[in-house]
Each structure stands twice: as structure tokens, then as C-alpha cells.
Amino acid sequence: MPRPETPLLTVDVIIELLERPGEVVFIERRNEPLGLALPGGFVDRGETVTAAAVREAREETGLDVTLEGMLGVYSDPGRDPRGHTASIVFVGRASGEPRAGDDAGGVRVMPPDKAQELVFDHARIIEDYLSTGEVRFEPPFVR
């Protein structure tokens, strides 16, 4: 089978901190586009989307995240100016103090409705997150 070209697959995680209810973790991007973003990144071949979400959260924030559910799938071709990506967005919980990983200039913990300069479509994702109290796994199933 010729290898087709599809959107690249990414994950993002809205991380709720047990010690700071009502706040979530953002990273300050070190590369263009500059601004605040949810922790996340590309899914590796051979990796499930949930494994990728836990790995990216750890790499970018140092936190061990327990995923609570899937917020949604974001696949608008214009969501990332660098090329078409489709992101599976999760909500997870963690305990402890986040620290910036290699890819992040810094981490910020704040109420999500106070986050300015969100890059990509992360403002839309936060809007969706704030509009719902229901995020869970079954259904939708994540296998």
C-alpha cells in the first residue's frame, strides 16, 4: 500500500492540579508561534494516544498525569499554521509542582479563563472545556 499523507496526529492535555482547584497548567512556548499553550505534542508511531498524552505531559511539565477523559478531537486544517495536525485532547489530573521541560520556556498555572495569548486553537479548546462538566471515557471509548 502506498503510504498516504494524512494530518499529523497530536495530543494535548488540560492538566488540573489537585492542590490548585480551578486552575490548569499552560506552557510558555519557546518556539514560534510564541504564547501560551496546553502541554502536548506529536504521537509517536507505535504509541497509543493515551500513552502519548501521559508522556508529553511528563516531558513538558514533569507531572505524572492521570487521564480523566477525552474532551474532543480537533482537526480543523487551519488550527496550526505550520501544517495540518489533528489533536486528541484529554483532561487529566496531577499532584505536585509543575516544572518546565526542554520544549517549554516555562510553566504557568492559572484559571483557564484568565489565560491570554493562547496559540493554535487552544482558546477554543479552553472554551469547550469551560462549557462542560462532563469529561469521561466511556463513551467515547479511547482504545
Q: Please report, as ranges, the residues that interact with a copy of itself according to CB under 8 A.
A: 1, 3-10, 42-50, 70-77, 82-84, 86, 88, 121, 124, 128, 132, 134-135, 138-143
**Measured between alpha carbons, how far is 27 from 135 in angstroms, rounded to an integer?**
22
Q: How far is the CB of 44 from a copy of itself (least distance, A)?
A: 7
Cell of 39: 502541554
Say whether 67 sits in a helix, a strand or coil: strand
Q: Between 56 and 98, whose beta carbon lies closer to a copy of itself?
A: 56
Give least dist CB 42 to a copy of itself, A: 5
Q: Let me know: does 72 contact 128? Beta carbons within 8 Å.
A: yes
**How far apart are alpha carbons 94 and 88 in whole angstroms?**
19
When the beta carbons of 42 and 66 are compared against a copy of itself, the nearer one is 42
